[in-house]
Amino acid sequence: MNKKSIRSVDVKGKKCLVRCDFNVPMKEGAITDDARIVAALPTVKYLAENGAKVVLCSHLGRPKGTFDMKYTLRPVAERLGELLGKTVKFATDVIGEDAHAKVKAMHDGDVILLENLRFHKEEEENDKEFCRALADFCDIYVNDAFGTAHRAHASTAGIVQYGFAPIAVAGFLIDKELQCLGGALEHPTRPLVAILGGAKVSDKIGVIDNLIEKANTILIGGGMAYTFLKAKGLQIGKSLCEEDKIQLARDLIDKAEKHGVKFFLPVDVVVAGCFPTPIDAEIPHRSVMISEIEKDDVALDIGENTVKLFAKEIRSAGTVIWNGPMGVFENPIFACGTKKVAEAIAESNCVSVIGGGDSAAAVRQMNFADKMTHISTGGGASLEYLEGKKLPGIECLNEE
Q: Are 17 and 57 in contact (CB under 8 A)?
A: yes
Question: Quick check: do 6-175 and 188-387 share a fold?
Answer: yes
Confirm whether 200 is a catalytic residue.
yes
Percent of the chain with pLDDT over 90: 88
Report the topology of domain 6-175: Rossmann fold (3.40.50)
In the structure, what pLDDT confidence band is assigned to residue 378 with cuts at 50, 70 and 90?
confident
What's the pLDDT at 1?
63
pLDDT tens, position by position, 316-325: 999 999 999 9
pLDDT greater than 80 at residue 356 = no
Please pick, among 36, 151, 245, 340, the residue that the annotation labels catalytic: 36
Report the predicted TM-score, pTM, of the whole model to 2 decimal places: 0.90
In the structure, what pLDDT confidence band is assigned to residue 379 with cuts at 50, 70 and 90?
confident
Q: What is the C-alpha separation between 379 and 366, in angstroms, rounded?
A: 18
Domain boundaries, the chain: 6-175, 188-387
pLDDT tens, position by position, 45-93: 999 999 999 999 999 999 999 999 999 999 999 999 999 999 999 999 9
Please pick, among 371, 380, 388, 389, the residue that the annotation labels catalytic: 380
Q: What mean pLDDT, rounded, does the chain reach?
A: 95
pLDDT tens, position by position, 162-173: 999 999 999 999
H or E segment at 201?
helix 201-212
Q: Are 83 and 41 in contact (CB under 8 A)?
A: yes
User: How many CA atoms, within 13 angstroms, populate the side-chain half-sphere of residue 378?
Assistant: 27
Q: Are 333 and 269 in contact (CB under 8 A)?
A: no
Confirm whether 380 is a catalytic residue.
yes
Across residues 280-286, what is the average pLDDT? 95
Look up the CATH architecture of domain 188-387.
Answer: 3-Layer(aba) Sandwich (3.40)
Please pick, among 200, 214, 364, 389, the residue that the annotation labels catalytic: 200
Confirm whether 104 is a catalytic residue.
no
Across residues 345-360, what is the average pLDDT? 90
Residue among 222, 186, 188, 224 at smallest CA distance from 205: 224
H or E segment at 102?
helix 97-104
Three-class DSSP category at 274: coil
What's the pLDDT at 380?
84
pLDDT tens, position by position, 235-263: 999 999 999 999 999 999 999 999 999 99
Please pick, among 198, 223, 324, 357, the residue that the annotation labels catalytic: 357
